[in-house]
């Protein structure tokens, strides 16, 4: 049996979706299915120059809303629960504002994994968000029609240069040590390009000008604001995240309009903090129901729980996922199955 309300997961399109399904022992996908949920995972195309004019509005309309409508049709449900990871969580908030303004109640609850919606404190990213740097990125995208995956990979590596640049160089080049086979590192090297239009909308409008959190972001013919995100939400942030600092994620959640908010801060970083199955017994998490506090006071008053945050989140999701029904069978009632998992997009390498 499964819960009647399906779950649709939107992973970041900066890398491939399979970070949440690396192997049986640490697969978030497998664990969620084992708890009795019908789970749909979005796999994003890896764009080449033909996608140069694809913007954030296309990701919202042809990605999020199209996927939600498909999931509703396949499961014959009026609502879904949604998860957005990193940039996909940022875009999920845009989608929720748009749906609110359209009077569309298709999303019952939202979960945000390490998602930023308030970019007012640029922190370690500040050097990469100056006009000089972004002007260079813009020239690159105008020339190639995409922001190549290697540019994003290098930027993130520079934020943790000792771990991701100098350390590996010393071990492999100077000491001749073969890097160990490691699923997270393989995924990290399997990057994806970004369409030129989408990349600049994100870097200029959201990151540099912080429009979503400070006045609103114009998209799809609407003025989208965080206050419109008023459905039940759960946000998970990571204590040592160098890409989406937890205090910045927390500040964005505070500005959302929902009266039903849960915020969890897990130990470790952007990936290991999320891919943290209960079976490992690693990385505990912090909770505090008072989201009116600033981030320092929230942390000081937070309660620490040993072990993975997954069971706590599942208990939250269970209450918002409807009654138990007979498990669904893929392809039932003549519905088309395109191909076996993991699909075709995931096999496409970065190319210009």
Any idea which residues carry the catalytic annotation?
86
Query: Residue 260 has which token pair?
Result: 């039903």
Q: Can you tell me the distance from the alpha carbon of 208 to that of 128, in angstroms, rounded to the nearest whole number?
A: 10
CB atoms within 10 A of CB 278: 13
Beta bridge partners of 147: 194
Q: Which residue from 272, 263, 266 is spatially nearest to 19, judged by alpha carbons?
A: 272
Q: Locate the DSSP E strands across the chain.
A: 2-3, 7-10, 39-41, 80-85, 107-113, 146-147, 194-195, 217-219, 222-224, 233-238, 261-266, 285-287, 303-305, 324-325
**Helix or strand run (H / E) with residue 142:** helix 131-144
Please say whether the beta carbons of 310 and 28 come within 8 A. Answer: yes
Please say whether the beta carbons of 105 and 81 come within 8 A. Answer: no
Q: Can you tell me the distance from the alpha carbon of 350 to that of 14, in angstroms, rounded to the nearest whole number?
A: 11
Q: Can you tell me the distance from the alpha carbon of 16 to that of 188, in angstroms, rounded to the nearest whole number?
A: 9
Query: Residue 165 has which token pair?
Result: 């640049």
CB atoms within 10 A of CB 191: 20
């Amino acid at each position: 049996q499964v819960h009647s309300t399906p779950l649709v997961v939107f992973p970041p399109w900066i890398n491939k979706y399979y970070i949440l399904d690396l192997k049986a022992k640490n697969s978030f996908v497998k664990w969620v299915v084992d708890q009795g949920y019908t789970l749909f995972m979005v796999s994003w195309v890896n764009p080449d120059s033909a996608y140069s004019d694809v913007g954030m509005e296309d990701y919202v309309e042809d990605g999020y809303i199209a996927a939600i409508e498909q999931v509703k049709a396949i499961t014959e449900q009026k609502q879904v629960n949604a998860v957005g990871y990193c940039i996909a969580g940022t875009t999920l908030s845009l989608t929720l504002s748009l749906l609110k303004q359209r009077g569309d109640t298709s999303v019952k609850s939202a979960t945000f994994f390490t998602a930023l919606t308030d970019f007012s404190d640029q922190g370690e990213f500040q050097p990469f968000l100056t006009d000089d740097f972004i002007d260079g990125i813009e020239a690159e995208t105008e020339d190639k029609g995409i922001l190549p995956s290697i540019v994003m990979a290098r930027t993130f590596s520079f934020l943790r240069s000792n771990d991701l640049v100098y350390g590996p160089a010393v071990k492999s080049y100077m000491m001749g040590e073969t890097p160990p086979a490691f699923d997270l590192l393989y995924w990290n090297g399997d990057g994806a390009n970004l369409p030129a239009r989408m990349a600049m909308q994100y870097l200029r409008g959201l990151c540099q000008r912080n429009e979503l959190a400070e006045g609103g972001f114009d998209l799809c013919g609407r003025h989208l604001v965080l206050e419109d995100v008023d459905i039940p939400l759960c946000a998970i942030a990571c204590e040592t995240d160098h890409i989406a600092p937890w205090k910045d994620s927390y500040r964005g959640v505070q500005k959302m309009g929902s009266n039903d908010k849960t915020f969890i801060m897990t130990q470790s970083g952007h990936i290991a903090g999320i891919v943290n199955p209960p079976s490992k017994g690693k990385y505990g998490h912090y909770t505090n129901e008072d989201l009116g506090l600033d981030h320092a006071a929230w942390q000081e008053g937070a309660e620490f729980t040993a072990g993975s945050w997954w069971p706590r989140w599942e208990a939250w999701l269970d209450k918002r996922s409807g009654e138990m029904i007979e498990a669904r069978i893929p392809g039932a009632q003549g519905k088309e199955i395109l191909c076996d998992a993991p699909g075709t997009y995931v096999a496409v390498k970065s190319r210009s």
